[in-house]
């Protein structure tokens, strides 16, 4: 007898804007992020928003992975784009900034896309784990505000591509 194995991601059916514990996911029905809600797309993870689906964002979306948007993001909240974004741009956000406002640890490689600026806010620390690379493309820049920090664990690295 042959057997098949599948990896299944269960999402919160009451709010498909809630990420599963791990792995990629697809939003297939419209959903809402309320003020105070935070949706984080981790490095190496892809969120796909299907065509015809609307995500209403009054909270915060932190993208460190990939967002493939074939639907609509109605944005009245905050979007921090530190990863890759393809498809229809969200309303009211040009996706030109990566703002670290809370302590954040990169556990897999992240490339800061060309033209995207990263700012580490006061009170926030960005940690680059051992074996992890932050690659800052040629037209991108990184600003660490007074009171913010960058912690590179031994074996981690930041690559600055020449301009």
- Check: CB of residue 129 under 8 Å from CB of residue 153: yes
Identify the residue with better confidence: 75 or 163.
75
Q: Among residues of the chain, what percentage have pLDDT more than 70? A: 87
Helices (H) and strands (E) in the chain, counts: 0, 19
pLDDT at position 98, please?
A: 84
pLDDT digits (tens, 9 = 90+) for 94-146: 666 788 887 888 888 888 777 778 889 899 999 999 999 988 877 678 899 99
Average pLDDT score over residue span 20-42? 88
pLDDT band at 10 (very low <50, low <70, confident <90, very high): very low
58 CB burial (10 A radius; 0-12, 13-18, 19+): middle
pLDDT band at 155 (very low <50, low <70, confident <90, very high): very high
Average pLDDT score over residue span 24-45? 90
Average pLDDT score over residue span 65-92? 88
pLDDT at position 153, please?
A: 94
pLDDT(16) > 70: yes
């Amino acid at each position: 007898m042959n057997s098949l194995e599948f990896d299944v991601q269960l999402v919160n059916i009451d709010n498909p804007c809630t990420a599963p514990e791990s792995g990629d996911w697809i939003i297939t029905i419209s959903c809402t992020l309320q003020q105070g809600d935070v949706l984080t797309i981790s490095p190496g993870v892809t969120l796909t928003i299907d065509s015809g689906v609307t995500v209403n964002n009054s909270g915060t979306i932190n993208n460190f992975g990939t967002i493939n948007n074939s639907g609509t993001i109605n944005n009245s909240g905050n979007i921090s784009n530190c990863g890759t974004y393809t498809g229809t741009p969200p309303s009211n956000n040009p996706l030109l900034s990566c703002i670290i406002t809370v302590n954040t640890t990169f556990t897999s490689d992240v490339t800061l896309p060309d033209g995207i600026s990263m700012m580490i806010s006061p009170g926030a620390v960005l940690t680059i784990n051992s074996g992890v690379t932050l690659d800052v493309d040629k037209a991108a820049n990184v600003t660490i505000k007074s009171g913010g920090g960058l912690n590179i664990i031994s074996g981690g690295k930041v690559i600055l591509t020449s301009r």
